[in-house]
Amino acid sequence: MRNFTLRNIHGALALILAPACMGADQIALPTVEKMPPVPHPFILRDWKNVARNFDEIAFDFDRRGEFLPLPWWDDSRVDHEITGFALPAYVGDLRQTAERNNYDAITCMGAVLGATLAGIDKSNQNGRNWVRMLNIYYSRANGTNLYMNNPGETTGQSFWYELFPSLLFFQIYDRYRDEPGWREQAQAIGERWYEGCRALGAGDGKAPDFDHTALDVVTGRPFDNPRWREPDAAAAVAWLEYMAYVVTKDARFLQAANWAMQFLEERQQNPFYECLLPYGAYLSARMNAEQGTSYPTTKLVNWVFDGDNPRQWGVIAEKWGDVEAYGLMGSVHKGSEYAFTMNSFLAPAVMVPMVRYDARYARAMARWVLNAAVNSRCFYADSMEPGRQTSWDWSSANDPKFSIAYEGLRKRGARRIRLAESGKDEVLRPGPDGRIEKIWSTEVPADSKNVLVMELKPRDGTSERDVDVSIASAPDGPWKSAFRFARGDKNRKWMNLKKPGPLYVRLEAGKGSAPRAKPLVIDQVFIDSKFEMTPFLSGDPLFHGWGRTDLGLYGGSFVGLLAALVEPTDVEGILRIDCRATESWAAPGYPTFLLHNPHRQQKTVTFPCSDTPSDFYDLASREILVRDAKGKASLPLAPDQAVVLVGIPAGGKLQKLEGRLECDGIVVDYAPAP
């Protein structure tokens, strides 16, 4: 062990600009490099205020108005003898109502986590413990022993829906560590997914196979549907198991974390599906620092950003019409670009803390967060004129502070014109001769690109008979063939519609059939209509017919994560990004902030700090940049310079121990210079 000597620094505040801090060692990410250094226009919402306003309306049982109040009490006591609370996924959701008591736990858990990170104590708010109510989502009676998306639910349908609630549990548990019974739940979750890894084939140097849609954790049987896989579940399981290891010190959970990371390390194809992969990218950097592993962090980070996965899900690096969408996350599929609110709030909060363990990503993370923090204002109704959104009337009348976000932002406006009634299954029964005929009619709009789509039941299956579909512009024809379901074809067909105006769609089946032919069940008949207005605030409820607005609580509830992460400084374009605010179950550490100067000129930034004198060590340059700061600190930043400032006690002794730099027994730098 030897002391690390602090440099002599002149003036009340100390500054060293070593060549290393100019960004020479920074890792450039191709998608981030496409983003502008400073978003334009630079309009940064007060995200903490937005989060507090969201909490106010989301938990108000007395608010009146259309589709209000939003929350209701869940006293079903499916698995726990307590009353819980519920929130609909969308304002005006037709599926999720108090009468049906159907809802998503991730909406409720996201609301508690977001409010907590925004500074609200949800364990004692207005005399209620909202944190304790979350226990109703912990499924135990059926042997699942996991947090699930609905009370009493089981696993075996979708990895991400069945893993995400447990991820949120650990993030909330970190903020409420004294909550009774939660350590035991953490232990049970760790054990469940340790066994899950074993069920997926882990052991003897072999990684578990996550190339499935889901896992029934009770039976140990994987599930695959015909349409997609969710292999980035490995990232979620790795994160869960590592958090369980940190909480319990059970070595099995560390082994399981390594198994899951091994799957990601060995995999060649990008597995990104929904929202889980960012957890693995972050964990790669943390485990490399804390456990001495060598997982491919850059590969995982680029997988999150690049959109080169089967679903084409990633971070947007484009301007949509007159609006910058850079930094938002969602579909980057050409022609179907769609930024989602939840993912755009969640991913930066999960990934930014990685710079504490590997500062080479500081510049890329800062540039991404700057674009995401500014452009996320576009998820809210007051960011655009009423004609470029679907639910302005409700927002302006019932949410005057505009604290509930849309589900997302589409590059192009879209609507779905339904031909079958209400989009419900339509059963077509054969006539006496065994034949089936049905005609639907609608109007094809002139201002959009239109595609006729028909889906037979089951959508994931194949046709059991020949079905002919034709179109006409008048009820008596002439009819033109649109498409044909031949026996064995997939039960989904479509065609581009070139002409606007009246449209008649005729289905014929059963030619030569026996009189007792089975009914034909139509899943959906609709026109996907995309118009050129770009971008456009919307969502799935109005498009698919399951809600009365596109305002998504399940996504907007996560706004507190962004609120905790970013603060403006006195220099426009330079944020102070809190690298510890959104991290879970981290080792004891000092306040750590990421700053980046995106400008072409040197800028001096001033930011608040403790009233106790502090020195600021920069993880990027591995130098003390500021010394003896009290109350506030000032720091010149060169053009494009990124710093990760760790605020240590002024005059504290930095010591190298086992390859790490420590101050008073707390790690400051996991990879100090030799």
Residues 222-233 pLDDT 10s: 999 988 999 999
pLDDT of residue 62: 97
pLDDT of residue 289: 97
Query: Helices marked H in 352-432 — which ranges?
Result: 362-375, 392-398
Per the CB < 8 A criterion, the answer to whether 630 and 396 are in contact is no
pLDDT (average), residues 207-225:
97
Picking from 582, 630, 579, the residue whose alpha carbon sits closest to that of residue 606 is 630
- Encode pLDDT of 614-672 as tens digits: 999 999 999 999 999 999 999 999 999 999 999 999 989 999 998 899 999 999 999 87
Residue 13 has a pLDDT of: 31
Q: Which position has the token pair 């054969």?
A: 430
More confident residue, 557 or 336: 557
651: left (phi over 0), alpha (psi -120 to 50) or beta: left
Nearest residue to 260 via CA among 281, 278, 241: 241
Q: Give the dihedral sign, CA 503/523/548/552.
A: negative
State the number of CA atoms in the 13 A half-sphere of 259 facing the CB: 28
DSSP string, 231-244: TTHHHHHHHHHHHH
Is pLDDT at 612 greater than 80 in this prediction?
Answer: yes
> Which domains does the chain possess?
2-24+584-669 (2.60.40.1180), 147-170+177-297 (no CATH), 417-532 (2.60.120.380)
CA–CA gap between residue 289 and residue 586 (Å, rounded): 12
Task: Indicate the pLDDT class of residue 512, thresholds 50, 70 and 90.
Answer: low
How confident is the model at residue 544, as a pLDDT? 82
User: Mean pLDDT across the stretch 451-477?
Assistant: 92
Of 503, 521, 369, 509, which Cα lies nearest the Cα of 458? 521
pLDDT in the model for residue 111: 98
At residue 599, φ and ψ (nearest 5 deg) are: -85, 165
Q: What percent of the chain has pLDDT over 90?
A: 85
In angstroms, the CA 640 to CA 596 distance is 7
Average of per-residue pLDDT across 442-450: 90
Within 10 Å of residue 397's Cβ, how many Cβ atoms? 10
DSSP 326-353: TT-EEE--TT--EEEHHHHHHHHHHHGG
Mean pLDDT computed over every residue of the chain: 93
- What 3 state SS string does 135-195 have? HHHEECCCCCCEECCCCCCCCCCCHHHHHHHHHHHHHHHHHCCCCCCHHHHHHHHHHHHHH
143 sits in the region (left: phi over 0; alpha: psi -120 to 50; else beta) called left
- Residue closest to 568 by CA, chosen among 11, 39, 26, 27: 39
pLDDT for res 2: 29
Residue 420 has pLDDT above 80, yes or no: no
Q: In terms of C-beta density within 10 A (0-12 exposed, 13-18 middle, 19 or more buried), how is residue 422 classed?
A: exposed
- How far the first Cα of the chain sits from its last, in Å, is 13
Q: What is the pLDDT of residue 543?
A: 85
CA atoms within 13 A on the CB side of 24: 7
pLDDT in tens, 575-609: 999 999 999 999 999 999 999 999 999 999 999 99
Average pLDDT over residues 434-453: 92
In the structure encoding, which two tokens stand for residue 434, read together?
């065994």
C-beta of residue 549 within 8 angstroms of C-beta of residue 394: yes
The token pair that represents 432 in the structure block:
């006496």
Model pTM above 0.85: yes
Check pLDDT > 50 for residue 84.
Answer: yes
Task: Give the span between the Cα atoms of 135 and 85, in whole angstroms.
Answer: 11
Q: Is the pLDDT of residue 613 over 80?
A: yes
Note the pLDDT tens digit of each residue in 227-272. 899 999 999 999 999 999 999 999 999 999 999 999 999 999 999 9
pLDDT given at position 335: 86
Give the integer Cα–Cα distance in Å for 643 and 507. 64
Tokens 């004129």 sit on residue:
385
As a whole number of angstroms, the distance between CA 272 and CA 285 comes to 18
Residue 112: the pLDDT is: 98
What residue type is assigned to position 313 of the chain? W
Give the model's confidence band at 545: pLDDT under 50 very low, under 70 low, under 90 confident, else very high. confident
pLDDT of residue 517: 72
Evaluate if residue 131 carries a pLDDT over 60. Answer: yes
- Residues 401-425, mean pLDDT to the nearest whole number: 86
Distance CA 621, CA 20 (A): 5
pLDDT higher than 60, residue 437: yes
- C-beta contacts of 264-269 below 8 A and 24+ residues apart: 264/234, 264/235, 264/238, 264/295, 264/296, 264/300, 265/207, 265/295, 265/296, 266/207, 267/231, 267/234, 269/309, 269/310
Q: pLDDT grade, residue 7 (50/70/90)?
A: very low
**Model confidence at 421, in pLDDT bands (50, 70, 90)?**
low
Query: Which tens digit of pLDDT belongs to each residue from 10-33?
Result: 233 333 333 333 334 899 999 999
Question: Does residue 1 have a pLDDT over 60?
Answer: no
**Averaged pLDDT for residues 543-562:** 95
Determine what percent of the chain is predicted with pLDDT higher than 70.
95
- The mean pLDDT value for 334-345 works out to 95
539 with 390: CB under 8 angstroms? yes
